Structure 1
Amino acid sequence: VEFGKILKLSQQTASRRLNQLEEMGWIQRKIIGKEQIIRITKEGADVMLLMYNNLKQILQDILIVGEVTEGMREGGYYVRIPGYLKQFEKKLGFEPYYGTLNLQLSDLNKELLDENLNNRLPVLIEGFDDKDVGRSYGSVECYNCFVSRLDNQENKQKAAILKIKRTHHKKNIVEILAKDYLRDKFKLKDGDRLRIEFIKGN
């Protein structure tokens, strides 16, 4: 019954699915009174691992594209704040350019990006209080990636997607942080398309 509830199946359908899995040798069932213990066999575990690796590969190889757009010029201000800058250098492994590149994503690309980020561990830039100016700064989640022009994917630049809790950006805007000034490096203008590729293992 619990199996059926989890998958939102009727008891009859859940029982039929379990019978099929048992016939394929992916599970073993043992009846104890009114209950049954279900154990995943080695064959079943191998199938699960294969499915996991396939899904992982799909997420890693997914193509996410955004259009370069004018930002609010807040990135340069925040990146150079010592409390952030020191953490960026230490945790991301590069000294960032004093600014971020803003990408406008379609609804589909934003959905794909969010799904991908949800399956990755972020590099956490911790929030802090600046007593000298009497204000606090929120935490930032960073996700390692590569970016490249859509028409020249061989020329890649290591970068990081910034997921900022406190932001004034409009919908579907993504901020990219990198060592170089990406507009110059890739000769970008507003409307040009940039590809986001995730670093495997991150």
Structure 2
Amino acid sequence: MMIIMEIEGKISTGYGKGAYFLGQDFYKSKFNEKLGFTPYPGTLNITVPKNYLDDIKNIKNSHANIIKPKEDFGGVKYIKAKLNDEIIGAIIFPDKTTHYENYLEFIAEENLRKKLKLKDGNKVNLKISV
């Protein structure tokens, strides 16, 4: 696994929509197939400084990792990443999102707020890999 970018950000509360979508069988099975794990139904929202945005866009646009849309569900791009050097997961970029550009949504197999005792404002580190 080659690291192509490292990002620091802060935990923030999302809108709760990720839990609904990640709870759908379609997404669960596709992420399991593509990433090797079934994601916890919810995303860990990380606010990143704006100086990372151009690099994140370039990485997002240069990867073909995508879960194609089905019926009423939108497509989702994803990039493998590691949180705080211990949690393997992925950053997801849903086609249909209401988040600002500087919000990243990280998925993993477990509830990360509970496992890592994370609260809003806590700093975290993401290593994006290929």
TM-score, normalization: structure 1?
Answer: 0.59
Tell me how far apart the structure 2 counterparts of residues 117 and 93 of structure 1 sit (CA, whole Å). 20
Letter in 2 for 1:95: T
Match in the other structure for 1:186: 116
What count of residue pairs does the alignment treat as equivalent?
129
The sequence identity of aligned pairs, in percent, is 28
Unaligned runs of 5+ in 1: 1-56, 130-135
* Structure 1 residue corresponding to 2:13, chosen from 58, 70, 73: 70
Match in the other structure for 1:29: none
Q: Secondary structure at the match of 1:176?
A: strand
Q: Secondary structure at the match of 2:30?
A: helix
Question: Contact 1:67/1:103 (CA < 8 Å) preserved in 2?
Answer: yes
* Structure 1 residue corresponding to 2:91, chosen from 161, 182, 185: 161
- Deviations 1:152-198, CA, capped at 9 Å, x for gaps: x4xx1101010111111134111101011111222111001111112
TM-score, normalization: structure 2?
Answer: 0.89
* Structure 2 residue corresponding to 1:89, chosen from 32, 57, 70: 32
- Deviations 1:96-125, CA, capped at 9 Å, x for gaps: 111000011111122332233344x24211
Higher relative contact order, structure no. (Cα contacts within 8 Å, ≥ 6 residues apart): 2
CA RMSD of aligned residues (A): 1.7
Tell me how far apart the structure 1 counterparts of residues 98 and 60 of structure 2 sit (CA, whole Å). 21
Q: Give the number of the structure whose alpha-carbon radius of gyration is greater.
A: 1
* Structure 2 residue corresponding to 1:140, chosen from 51, 55, 76: 76
Unaligned runs of 5+ in 2: none
